[in-house]
Amino acid sequence: MSSAVNPLRDAQDRRLPRIAGPSGLVIFGVTGDLSRKKLMPAVYDLANRGLLPPGFSLVGFARRDWEHEDFAQVVHDAVREHARTPFREEVWQQLAQGMRFVSGVFDDDDAFRTLKATIEELDKSRGTGGNFAFYLSVPPKFFPTVVSQLKEHGLSDGQGDSWRRAVIEKPFGHDLKSAQDLNSVVHDVFRPSEVFRIDHYLGKETVQNILALRFANTMFEPLWNRSYVDHVQITMAEDIGIGGRAGYYDGIGSARDVIQNHLLQLLALTAMEEPVSFEAKPLVTEKMKVLNSVRLPEDLAAHTVRGQYAAGWQGGRKVLGYLDEDGIDPQSGTDTYAAIKLEIDNRRWAGVPFYLRTGKRLGRRVTEIAVVFQRAPHSPFGATDTQELGQNALVIRVQPDEGVTIRFGSKVPGTQMEIRDVTMDFAYGESFTESSPEAYERLILDVLLGDANLFPRHQEVERSWEILDPIEEHWERHGKPEQYPAGTWGPAAADEMLARDGRSWRRP
């Protein structure tokens, strides 16, 4: 076998653990939810798995009047509550010795001077080597201040061989224009290769498995095109409501929250051509090609739907409607459900619709990509024999219950010819003993290693807004979202949208 054409040729090397070199992480917005529930536990889990250097250091930056010990205690509690791996005192002690807290607001020069001194002290005491990543877990309106402060105080440039990187959380803008503005603010200070934009879906094992499934096998790719595929459904359904996130969510809505990023990334990975390698640049090239070929339907009223959850029942419990949630404007027209149809104008996909949908307070939590195949061109069976036969489908179950299902028709045992759908299943839990790392573990480690493969570049972010903007503008001009009872599968209009195309949504 020629190694030059085998994209998985480095598999041997990849089995070696990838361990970050001397480094530290500074988190802005360290008192927020994301930091407590995801970032702090991920740092501990990485340390526990031996993937961080012994002197790794974690610096929190926030307004609170905390001492280093108070910060360490907060991290400790977050780790005890949310970490994936067991708590080990010796790992914790080593990590805790490298924890520092800097108290201040973002435009406070003294606080940034203290941050600089803290980093220099850590370089000496912990051997962090001047290598620091700055994680901006703050609303985008603070990006300009934080990045310009980093520049002003000489923190954005590494000395000699050391590196400085910026990690940016979504939302990355709320439309194309604001995303371009943010990109230019960040790129004034950091080089593109130093900027890591988080889309945590790309850190999920099952999302990376889309590439393995498609490009490490021979049996799927020949069918992966307009000759065999009828349509593709990408679903991200959540059973939760907006919880305590009214401030972030109201006015943003479901399409900006997850279609612009997670779902369009899933579409890109499902539909793109094989990249030359899985390095960042070739991956972006292929994702951009396919995102550039995405076309919106002309009639947005017929092919997009938005909804908002009303009160209902979920898990045997009565839950509030969106408009009654804490902190939500009772007149709010924010969507908590969105469904859109997209076409991809290229040779592989011409005429194959991609249906994307997402929603909060739906029937259950499930994210999946279903590639639904055409019916057989001719059936030698009678209509009654096949009345329970659906379309063949390959379903990538992103979460929960991670795996892949193939659905096909099979003869029901008995004397008659009767054909019914059956499934063949691959479940991660059964095939692998090791549990999947949390997305944030993978992504934080990649930042420290400078590995940019799983981070969307600014072109992708901007192109995704360019796709979504006309839909948002259309919705803004046309009334309010349709209400759907919590615990159901969204507004009736979404079913009608597919019915018009002679199709129906899967009920996962």
Residues 162-201 binding ligand BG6 (CB under 6 A) are 200
b/e 342-370 (16+ beta carbons within 10 angstroms → b): bbbebebbeebbbbbbbbbbbbeebbbbb
- Residue 249 CA, chain-centre distance (Å), reads 17
Burial zone of 329 (CB within 10 Å; 0-12 exposed, 13-18 middle, 19+ buried): exposed
**152 is known to lie in a ligand binding site:** no
SS3 for 10-38 is CHHHHCCCCCCCCCEEEEECCCCHHHHHH
The CB-of-272 to ligand BG6 minimum distance in angstroms stands at: 22
The CB-of-477 to ligand BG6 minimum distance in angstroms stands at: 25
| Positions of E strands within 198-271 | 229-237
**174 is known to lie in a ligand binding site:** no
Nearest residue (CB) to ligand BG6, 258 versus 467: 258
The CB-of-134 to ligand BG6 minimum distance in angstroms stands at: 21
For ligand BG6, the binding residue among 45, 257, 325, 368 (CB under 6 A) is 257
CA dihedral 435, 438, 444, 446 (to 10 degrees): 50
Nearest residue (CB) to ligand BG6, 95 versus 356: 356
**257 is known to lie in a ligand binding site:** yes
**480 is known to lie in a ligand binding site:** no
The CB-of-306 to ligand BG6 minimum distance in angstroms stands at: 15
Token digits of residue 127: 């051997």
For ligand BG6, the binding residue among 258, 284, 394, 443 (CB under 6 A) is 258
Q: Is 238 in the site for ligand BG6 (CB under 6 A)?
A: yes
Encoded one letter per residue, x for contact with ligand BG6 by CB under 6 A and - for no contact, window 70-89 reads: --------------------
Q: Is 462 in the site for ligand BG6 (CB under 6 A)?
A: no
Peptide linkage before 437 cis (omega within 30 of 0)? no
Q: What are phi and psi of 235, to 5 degrees?
A: -120, 130
Question: Letter for the amino acid at 415?
Answer: T
The count of residues interacting with ligand BG6 (CB under 6 A) is 5
d(CA 469, CA 473): 6
The CB-of-248 to ligand BG6 minimum distance in angstroms stands at: 8
Q: Which of 99, 11, 120, 12 is nearest to 52 (CA)?
A: 99
Encoded one letter per residue, x for contact with ligand BG6 by CB under 6 A and - for no contact, window 366-405 reads: -x--------------------------------------
The CB-of-280 to ligand BG6 minimum distance in angstroms stands at: 21
- Residue 500 CA, chain-centre distance (Å), reads 30
Question: Is residue 315 within 8 Å of 241, Cβ to Cβ?
Answer: no
The CB-of-265 to ligand BG6 minimum distance in angstroms stands at: 11
Encoded one letter per residue, x for contact with ligand BG6 by CB under 6 A and - for no contact, window 321-360 reads: ----------------------------------------
Question: Is residue 394 within 8 Å of 406, Cβ to Cβ?
Answer: yes
Nearest residue (CB) to ligand BG6, 53 versus 253: 253
Token digits of residue 366: 């499930």
Encoded one letter per residue, x for contact with ligand BG6 by CB under 6 A and - for no contact, window 22-61 reads: ----------------------------------------
Annotated active-site residue in 174, 262, 303, 458: 262
Q: Is 205 in the site for ligand BG6 (CB under 6 A)?
A: no
* Contacts (Cβ under 8 Å, ≥6 apart) of 402: 205, 206, 427, 428, 429, 436
The CB-of-371 to ligand BG6 minimum distance in angstroms stands at: 20
Question: Is residue 455 within 8 Å of 446, Cβ to Cβ?
Answer: yes
Nearest residue (CB) to ligand BG6, 258 versus 396: 258
Reply yes or no on whether 303 is catalytic. no
**238 is known to lie in a ligand binding site:** yes
Q: Closest CB to ligand BG6 belongs to which residue?
A: 257
| Positions of E strands within 333-469 | 337-344, 354-359, 366-373, 393-399, 403-411, 419-427
Task: Indicate the pairing of strand 99-103 with strand 57-62.
Answer: parallel
d(CA 169, CA 455): 11
- Counted residue by residue, the chain has a size of 508
List the alpha helices (DSSP H) in 262-391.
Answer: 264-271, 280-293, 300-303
Which amino acids are annotated as binding site for substrate, given as ranges? 200, 204, 238, 257, 360
Which amino acids are annotated as binding site for NADP(+), given as ranges? 63, 170
Which residues are known to be catalytic?
Answer: 262
Which amino acids are annotated as binding site, given as ranges? 63, 170, 200, 204, 238, 257, 360
Q: What is the contact surface with ligand BG6 in residues (CB under 6 A)?
A: 200, 238, 257-258, 367
